Amino acid sequence: MVTANAAKQLIQHYVDNFRRLPWRSPPGERPPNLYRVWLSEVMLQQTTVATVRPRFERFVQRWPTIESLAAASDEAILSEWAGLGYYARARNLIACAREVARRGSFPTTAAGLRELPGIGAYTSAAIAAIAFGEKAPAIDTNVERVISRLHGLKRPVRAEIERLLLDMMPDDHPGDLVQAMMDLGATICRPKNPRCVECPLHADCAAFASGTAEAFPERRRRSARPHKYGVAYWIERGGSVWLVRRPSKGLLGGMAALPGGEWTRSVPDRVNAIGAVRHVFTHFELDLHLVPRAEPEGDGWWQPLDRLSEAGLPTLYRKAAEAVLANNDRLAA
Ligand code: SF4
């Protein structure tokens, strides 16, 4: 029975190699604090454990409970989030914390969790399995890859993956299997060069037996990202730079930013830039040109350059500021 044996091996491997993370309980023990599970799952969406870990620690030190987070200002939370990317997540995090605080507690099922802002199918299932012991199929790309390889599926269908995952989940602590699967996908059953000889599943794995483990599942072709262009203004006076806050809706909504124009598909005319950065968003790539201006643009504030790191700039604008400042240093040298 491939599934039962594989599940047993995988959980044993997890028990032996458990990674201590501030949002986890050791295998078999009481589930961790729900606020921590939720916060970590939201932070980990599209972001690595190594990046999230120190940021998570800072977050829970500053806001140890969901009530304290719900009571914090948008600006404070968005600044703390700066650099983690995907800012829609931060706005959903705020909305979710306030909704849970209003209700008095989190819902206790995957279906209930899904009604909250920013909690989709994967996150609701992962939280429910880890925190409530619900046999909920938490399927991200790591889990999909491991199951596809284990069963030799080239073009897996979601419902099939779900069924195969549910078949592997034990009644006791199903969250341990979810976390074991996540760890295996991240560290051993990697997209490229899977480390099959170290894998607890290799005796049962169809992809390994085929000798071409990496070929499972077939890669979906990604269409090339469209390219956009934009201009941001560098307005510097007396050792400070003028910053604004972006509109609350849309990309980087509510985040601190350099003022500037719309981002469009057309290549800008000659702009006499003092710097430029390329930044890759999920759906497009942006070339942002930095142009000097003398007078402040829009509602904003003067941010001292020696305290720029405290402004909560997202990565795009942090890179842009670094490009200008490096250019200034070069010219001064
Ligand atoms: Fe992945 Fe290889 Fe393990 Fe199969 S044996 S699950 S392909 S790492």
Which tens digits make up the pLDDT trace of 253-279? 999 999 998 899 877 665 677 878 889
CA 196 – ligand 1 centroid, Å: 5
Pocket-forming residues, ligand 1, beta carbon under 6 Å = 146, 149-150, 188-189, 194, 196, 199, 201-202, 205, 207-208, 213
Residue 320 has pLDDT above 70, yes or no: yes
Average pLDDT taken over every residue of the chain? 90
Q: What is the spatial distance between Cα 212 and Cα 330, in angstroms, rounded to a whole number? A: 51
Helix, strand, or coil (residue 323): helix
249 Ramachandran zone, left/alpha/beta (phi>0; psi -120 to 50): beta
Q: How confident is the model at residue 2 (pLDDT cuts 50, 70, 90)?
A: low
Burial class (CB within 10 angstroms; exposed 0-12, middle 13-18, buried 19+) of 307: exposed
- Measured from the Cα of 199, ligand 1's closest atom is 3
41 is catalytic: yes
Task: Determine the pLDDT at residue 268.
Answer: 67
List of residues 6+ apart from 49 with CB closer than 8 A: 19, 21, 186
Centroid of ligand 1 to alpha carbon of 207 (angstroms): 7
Which of 210 and 157 is assigned the larger pLDDT?
210
Predicted local confidence at residue 143, as pLDDT? 93
Token pair listed for 326? 């490096």
Identify which of 91, 94, 71 has the alpha carbon closest to the alpha carbon of residue 254.
91
Q: What is the DSSP letter of 275?
A: E
Across 30-54, average pLDDT = 90
- 194 preceded by a cis bond (ω within 30 of 0): no
User: Which residue's CA is the closest to the ligand 1 atom numbered 1?
Assistant: 189
Pocket-testing residue among 201, 212, 214, ligand 1, by greatest number of atoms within 8 A of Cβ: 201
Residue whose CA is closest, atom 2 of ligand 1?
196
